[in-house]
Amino acid sequence: MVDAQQTVSTTPATVTETFDAIVVGAGFSGLYMLHQLRKLGLRSRVFEAGSDVGGTWYWNRYPGARCDSESIYYMFSDHVSEELLQEWSWSERYAAQPEILRYLQFVADRLDLRRDIQFNTRVIAATYDEANNQWLISTDNGNQARASFLITAVGCLSAPNLPKFKGLESFKGTWYHTGNWPHDPVSFSGQRVAVVGTGATGVQVVPEVAREAAYVYVFQRTPNYNIPARNRPLDAEYIQQIKSQYREIWHKARISGFGLPYDAVNRSALSVSPEEREQIYWAAWNKGGFYLGIETFSDLLVNKEANETASEFIRARIRELVYDPKVAELLIPRDHHFFTKRPPLEHGYYEAFNRDNVTLIDVRSTPIEEITPQGIRTSDTEYEADAIIFATGFDAMTGSLFKMNISGRDGITLNDKWADGPRTYLGLATHGFPNMFMITGPQSPSVLTNMTVAIEQHVEWITDCINYLRSHGVRMIEAQAEAEEAWVNHATQVAEATLLVNTPSWWVGANIPGKPRLLYPYVGGLGFYKQQCDEVAANGYRGFALQR
Ligand code: FAD
Ligand code: NAP
């Protein structure tokens, strides 16, 4: 007998199951989405390429991997489960990858999520079947599935970017990409290791590998403004105090610009005396973490002169931390302003260059020409290495969406529609792709926030929306072209008012050759963004076409 809600048809080649909703991805986003869909009573299936839950924290197992958001805020809030929030205690201010992965496994187990997740299954195509108003999903194991709703939870930073280095296949040692790290322990003991890339990932890798390897070559193209993380163990008393305040903490985070319960200020860096400014920067520097960007001055992202005061402050710290003045100068960013690229948090990164087994190679002036059987050849030297770690980042924001081969109404593909850059309504939906929602899609705050808070906001908005559709007999929802146009224009306008658009970074797609240049995340702030999403919902989903 076939379950009334479940249709299974089999042919020798494929199995097609029908669900109410299909979610792609089982990181923070997919897990919460599944939990919410269940609460609505929807029969749902999550497809996940990895063999377990965790997303980012399943794939990024490189040495030194840990969060840059403070752990106590980088977790599911009371909206997901007050019980789990109170039960889980983090061991460090910035938890390391194994602990975050354990946390997500704990959530999956306690909410009994795994039974609706199909692991080791990559979605390779998603096609809107207009006649049936359904999404048809094809997976890499040859099966298909259908659903009324398609929800992408594929992550903003989940498509690793390995630049096309000539000769990589000839390399006789072992190479790794940080975003696809082996599950078995990797030892660099006694080895010469080349690290390519000095973004948030490379900055975490270098000090950790330097402690273990015989020698480390760091290939740097662009130096960053790295901020000290000031990690520390968390004691029981502090955790208890935070737990007792979580209700207010989450409220503050949700209405904040960056999804963090920090005290944003409203003062210009140019409105105070140089002495006072210095004091303010020092206080934030000593506190560690993103306070330097958030709790100091409000015009760092919009005013070059104001920003230059922060940039200069950090340059001075680099000169103090790195003993060799020539190396220090190479580590000092001059071609962009502070926070116009994602500033990495560092755990002994600058000090690593004071070790006698670490060499910095400036590949801006001597670019990498090829990978050789022995190592890496730049325009002037060959560096021999036993292992290469590529910390070269991701095809962010659109990479994993494009790899899914999504086609909407009339066969239009997402890749074609977005060929000149993403076009979304609120970063949640896109015209021509009915009944499809994107969690942390482009043109939503996503990567410019503490992402767990942004993810919850999206999941909850989508849940409310689906609930509304079902209770109002609406079969189909689709972003209207005019509303989309207005949102794209608004997102562009806000972006252009900041310094972010002028710095080549992955935020603007500059790390991927040929990728359209625009600010992919929405920079208007999470709190303001949430208000707009809520208003759209309160006005009967203004800007969406609803079909009964
Ligand atoms: P992900 O965790 O990326 O999960 C997406 C999942 O979708 C993956 O498991 C992937 O396998 C799966 N998937 C993708 N495509 C398919 C497909 N076609 N078929 C099947 N499955 C698919 N953010 C912060 O706010 N604070 C931090 O401190 C922080 N630290 C980070 C550290 C690193 C090293 C990285 C890379 C990112 C970090 N981020 C951080 C961003 C982080 O990605 C988010 O915080 C969060 O984990 C995203 O969750 P997600 O579920 O949306 O996406
Ligand atoms: P990234 O910021 O894009 O950095 C990639 C690095 O590789 C850059 O230094 C880049 O140089 C370099 N690179 C790329 N191609 C190169 C080439 N052909 N030759 C030489 N160098 C090359 O990637 P990421 O460090 O993986 O970080 C991506 C994002 O993930 C972060 O910004 C952050 O949002 C998230 N992340 C977060 C954490 C955390 O919160 N703890 C940790 C890691 C990552 P250029 O700068 O010159 O392009």
Which residues is 345 bridged to in the sheet? 227
Running DSSP on this structure, what letter comes out for residue 344? P
- What is the value of pTM for the model shown? 0.97
CA of 62 from ligand 1 middle (Å) equals 15
Closest approach atom of ligand 1 to CA 439: 52
Query: Considering all CA atoms of the chain, what is the largest pairwise distance in Å, rounded to the nearest integer?
Result: 78
Number of H helices and number of E strands within the chain?
17, 21
Contact by Cβ (8 Å): 150, 435: yes
Neighbours of 1 (CB within 10 A): 3
C-alpha pair distances (Å), 495 with each of 260, 482, 533: 21, 20, 18
Q: What is the crossing angle of helices 451-471 and 526-538, to 10°?
A: 0
CA of 57 from ligand 1 middle (Å) equals 7
Measured from CB, residues less than 6 Å from any atom of ligand 2 are 66-68, 157, 163, 196-202, 204, 219, 221-222, 342, 363, 368, 391-394, 447, 506, 511
pLDDT in tens, the chain (548 residues): 233 334 444 444 577 899 999 999 999 999 999 999 999 999 999 999 999 999 999 999 999 999 999 999 999 999 999 999 999 999 999 999 999 999 999 999 999 999 999 999 999 999 999 999 999 999 999 999 999 999 999 999 999 999 999 999 999 999 999 999 999 999 999 999 999 999 999 999 999 999 999 999 999 999 999 999 999 999 999 999 999 999 999 999 999 999 999 998 999 999 999 999 999 999 999 999 999 999 999 999 999 999 999 999 999 999 999 999 999 999 999 999 999 999 999 999 999 999 999 999 999 999 999 999 999 999 999 999 999 999 999 999 999 999 999 999 999 999 999 999 999 999 999 999 999 999 999 999 999 999 999 999 999 999 999 999 999 999 999 999 999 999 999 999 999 999 999 999 999 999 999 999 999 999 999 999 999 999 999 999 999 999 99
Taking the C-alpha atoms of residue 97 and residue 54, their distance in angstroms, rounded to an integer, is 10
C-alpha pair distances (Å), 510 with each of 249, 300, 301, 514, 519: 35, 22, 19, 8, 10
